[in-house]
Amino acid sequence: MIRCGMYEAVITPPLGSSMPGHAGERKAAEVLDDLYAKALVIDSNGHVAALVVVDALYVQRIEVQKIRERISRHTPIPPDRVMVSATHSHSGPPIRPGFDGFDHPSYLNYMVERTADAVILAYNRRREARIGSGIGRAEGIAFNRRYWMKDGTVRTNPGFRHPELVRPAGPADPELLVVRIEDTEGRPIGAVTNFACHTDTLGGGNLGLSADYPGELSRLLKRELGSEAVCLFVQGASGDLNHYDFTKPKSIEPGHYRVMGRKLADETMKVWRTIMPSQSGDLPVSVRQAFFPIAYRLPTEAEADEAHRTLASEGATEKERYFAEHLLNMLNDPEKTAMVEVQTFRLGELAVVGLPGEIFAEFGLRLKRHSSYKYTMINTLCNGSIQGYVCTKEAYVQGGYESKLKRNHRIPSGAGDLFVEHALQGLASPGKEALESGCPSNDPA
């Protein structure tokens, strides 16, 4: 018997909180829409998996561990069977210290409790359910933001109709994956949607807290499915994707997050109506984790010299000084490696691949091509083991914003290929022990 529960908990921080996601301190001055932690719990004959997504830029490892621990204290769900990710909203809560140096420990504790409680309440509200998946396409709203220029360089966000622009330097992924969850009477419990595009349509000048286009998507889906339905958005491989098409004149207006949310909602409902949820009383559920170390990148001698010159320059901007100081601090940072977690869920015909960091679209497309499952959901910014862009090897050579060494981006070349390799291994064979007991967590942290 399949039982599912879904729940959403408000995690909106107080006004005046830092809003991370841009190079400069921003303090929240209003609430455009509430932020949530949204959870799905699937229980198939006692084999349980929990997916929880937070409206935030990301969730750090220490908070992920606390969320998992709280869930395991209040439910039978083991920590290794909980996948925690973020929508990557750039208008979200203070999940890291602000540019002003202040952190928000009381908010982080609140977020941890509310996020864990969303899973606990979803578990407690399980009821007999039917699940099905389908795929649509949301064309023309997400684009690769890296472009080849006429001089042979690659530039991120080069400007609309730039005269030197040649072509995009990588692919986009218009696929929209939809999971339909309903009770045995056909009443919607909720939906899971998976799409790849940076959640930054409001821009750096915005001072209003918002879930961005996933929040608008949820609002519109609730109109169709009912106010009690939980509409959970999973961010795909969007490290090099955003909502600007730089090959055309600028056509983005304020409130574009509503335009994107509406287009995604329309396509979601189109797919929803074609999905035939499984009538079977059984849904194989398995979970796998892989942990492996990667060595962080360190500044080169040339990069360190450039940082020293920036700090010595009277004309350097505050932003340039900030990044120069952090680059030099990396030389003395005792943390030279990271233990990466790659997590995979198998839910019948659906595979969910949980990857840390901001994954380039090419990796997501590669995983989908090589996955043996009918439906493969790429879930990024997952489980907090690392932050930053996971670029292709070519991008490290080409340059551009994403490959630039920064405080929160020290991931080495080749890491993305390792992520794909471990994810495909996790999907290759669930294993009898995983199906029966869920494999004890081997998290080394």
CA 261 to chain centre: 17
**159 and 98 in a common domain:** yes
Whether 392 is covered by a domain: the verdict is yes
Q: What's the pLDDT tens digit per position in 372-415?
A: 999 999 999 999 999 999 999 999 999 999 998 887 789 999 99
Q: What's the pLDDT tens digit per position in 199-225?
A: 999 999 999 999 999 999 999 999 999
- Residue 416 sits at the vertex; the CA angle it makes with 413 and 420, to the nearest 5 degrees, is 150
**389 and 320 in a common domain:** no
Whether 153 is covered by a domain: the verdict is yes
- Measured from the Cβ of residue 424, the count of other Cβ atoms closer than 10 Å reads 17
What is the model's pTM?
A: 0.94
Reading the chain (445 residues) residue by residue, the pLDDT tens digits are 899 999 999 999 999 999 999 988 999 999 999 999 999 999 998 899 999 999 999 999 999 999 999 999 999 999 999 999 999 999 999 999 887 888 899 999 999 999 999 999 999 999 999 999 999 999 999 999 999 999 999 999 999 999 999 999 999 999 999 999 999 999 999 999 999 999 999 999 999 999 999 999 999 999 999 999 999 999 999 999 999 999 999 888 889 999 999 999 999 999 999 999 986 677 889 999 999 999 999 888 988 999 999 999 989 987 788 778 888 888 888 788 999 999 999 999 999 999 999 999 999 999 999 999 999 999 999 999 999 999 999 999 999 999 988 877 899 999 999 999 999 999 996 543 333 333 333 455 4
* Sign of the torsion angle spanned by Cα atoms 99, 102, 107, 112: positive
**213 and 327 in a common domain:** no
Do 353 and 427 form a contact (C-beta atoms < 8 A)?
yes
**321 and 386 in a common domain:** no
**278 and 130 in a common domain:** yes
**Domain limits at 196?**
2-290+337-427
**359 and 418 in a common domain:** yes
Q: Tell me which DSSP letter residue 354 carries.
A: E
Residue 259 pLDDT: 96
Backbone angles phi, psi at 60, to 5 degrees: -75, 160
Whether 250 is covered by a domain: the verdict is yes
**325 and 304 in a common domain:** yes
Q: Does the annotation place 74 within a ligand binding site?
A: no
Of 384, 372, 284, 387, nearest to 343 by C-alpha is 384
Whether 210 is covered by a domain: the verdict is yes
Q: How many domains does the chain have?
A: 2
Do 90 and 212 form a contact (C-beta atoms < 8 A)?
yes
**394 and 378 in a common domain:** yes
**78 and 10 in a common domain:** yes
Strands (E), 348-445: 350-354, 358-359, 375-379, 389-390
**371 and 313 in a common domain:** no
**213-225 vs 256-272: helix crossing angle, rounded to 10:** 40
Q: Does the annotation place 88 within a ligand binding site?
A: yes
Residue 424, classed as helix, strand or coil, is: helix
Of 310, 409, 293, nearest to 357 by C-alpha is 409
Residue 441 pLDDT: 39
Residue with tokens 């991931």: 411
**408 and 368 in a common domain:** yes
Residue 303 pLDDT: 87
**220 and 94 in a common domain:** yes
Residue 407 pLDDT: 77
Whether 439 is covered by a domain: the verdict is no
Do 107 and 2 form a contact (C-beta atoms < 8 A)?
no
Whether 172 is covered by a domain: the verdict is yes
Residue 377 pLDDT: 98
Whether 441 is covered by a domain: the verdict is no
Whether 75 is covered by a domain: the verdict is yes
C-alpha–C-alpha distance, residues 434 and 417, integer Å: 25
